[in-house]
Structure 1
Amino acid sequence: MELPHIGKNCQLEHCHSLGIWKLFIDAEVACPLCQQTYCGEHRLPLDHSCSQWSRVDKQLVQCDTCQHLVKAPDAEKLTPEASLEKHKASNCKFYLYPPNGPIPKINRQCTVKGCKDIDPRVGPIRCDGCEEDFCLRHRHPSAHRCKSLNDDEDRKRDRKLAAQEKVAKTFTPPVKKPKIKSVAVKSKNGGMVELMKIKSQAKGSASVPTSSRIYLYVQCPKESKLDFQSVYFDKLNSVGKALDLIADTCKVNNKNHTLSPTDPERLELYKCPEMAVLDKSCSLEKCLKNLDTVLLERQGSVSIEEDNDQ
């Protein structure tokens, strides 16, 4: 970014670039012949078609090492070529033009390969992105393909990904929650007549005292191809024990003792119609009551439906 309050504009008609000479030296840079101010690219007489070039009788030459004008004193009567040779031999210190206020040679060169355009008056300009020295023409990151440009692209990409992630978390689309498809209960009204009816047909162990019995309807697994069963158990028994007895009644292979809790072949006892999995360590009287319906089924065979409610 240029600083409009510092320096002067290049006086070349088609340029007018703003100079920044006062940032680096006390005096403004001007053409040594016509004394007009120019930018770094047009500072030398040959770069701006200097109107005073002819009056020096073509005795000025430009050093390709320090990029400055060279002229030997008239008393030495040296040719321009000889002046340039002695100038270079003096490590670019002698025969500088104009002779007043000699300009020291800048040892550091522009980092861009093959470029020797560092102005002796201004000196090298350090890039904040890569911390390398450049001439005026290559001082901008885009002009020397600065590595900081890639860093900027990485930061932009990271900010974009972070923004997308935040938007995704803020505007999460509704998720359809899966739920177990309910199974109809066998009991109609749960009244005394219903209880008397199930007591007359329920199957169970005769050793269970009448006062300790709990009467249930059992929906057998699909693989058993059996319909509802009316059974009774000791209400003090655990759900796990009742599951084993029901599996025997339905004649299905029960390998729960060898299967992991998430194995699809594992048998579970579900309370209908809410299809809640019964805790195997819980006693029957704590989680069930007379005339309740339970379903024995393998985890992987339970029907699933989508619930749109949130």
Structure 2
Amino acid sequence: MKFSVDGWDPAYGPAFDVEELAESTAAVDPAIEVPTAGWAPMPVSRPLRLPNSVLFVDGVRRTDARIWIDDADAASGGERAVAGLCASYAAGVVRTSGCTAEVVVAEVRRRLITEARTATNISTDTGDYPVHHVTAKTNQPAALTLSNALQESLLQLELVVAASARAASPPDDHDLLIVDGPMRGKVDLPRTLGHIKTHSAQYLPTKLNAIVAELGTGERTPVFSVATGWQRYSWYLRLPCSPAGPWTGIVRLEASPNLDLSEVTELANVSQTLLKRFASVEYKDSRAPQNLVPIAGLEKQLRHRLGAAPLLYRSLRVAAGR
């Protein structure tokens, strides 16, 4: 029997699940760069002007404690127990230039997220949790509402640190910003790419989707457009990796719909040359090669800056008992 083993750590779930990859209902136009009849793996075709520096943006989040708040019940005139989420989250930016890389911005936030109207800020010996009120939705569980609000807070912080890093850049710096994840909420950032490591939907028609598996190292698909609740340009790219499954080392890139097609194809060509420089390797990263080296290093530092989870949990228990 001949077989191969995917280097992606199974603890993170599959980077690509061929049996569960459902065809997306998004409106996709695959013919904006190349007619569908001419779709084929695209190698780097011409000399490129690469950015002087590359900025990598990422964020992390953690639930420090789940709490219950005694809230006034308008219906009965008494009290009811309402769920709350005490969480820490952080976002930062790594700037790479030449052979150097450094964290130029990193910010940590804590927050109490709840729909309890009487909730107030929580002060502990290890930091404060400012309250963020959310509105309950009848069509989704309360836990999901809280989790979505935390994710939105993290997204906003990523925008803040990205703007801070760009403001600190030299005025003549020809840079590129790479966001770990989709471009949702970030389409107004200039010179920016979204980097998606895992695949949960099949955006392309089956015939064109099969071409993704044919990509060689550094090759990409033609650019296509995707419209769901929001619009963006996208393409697939294979990073350097050990031979394994058909989608091993495949990432999907996104670019803002505000760009001209010529600008998007230029970014797509740049990504072919640039991203393989930052691809991780299996003996260093269990999510290689998709988890880019600067992103992996930034994640590690941001998680450290969140603080010790047991200490924060204990301080919340102490605050609850006061």
TM-score (norm 1): 0.20
Select the structure of larger CA radius of gyration.
1
TM-score (norm 2): 0.19
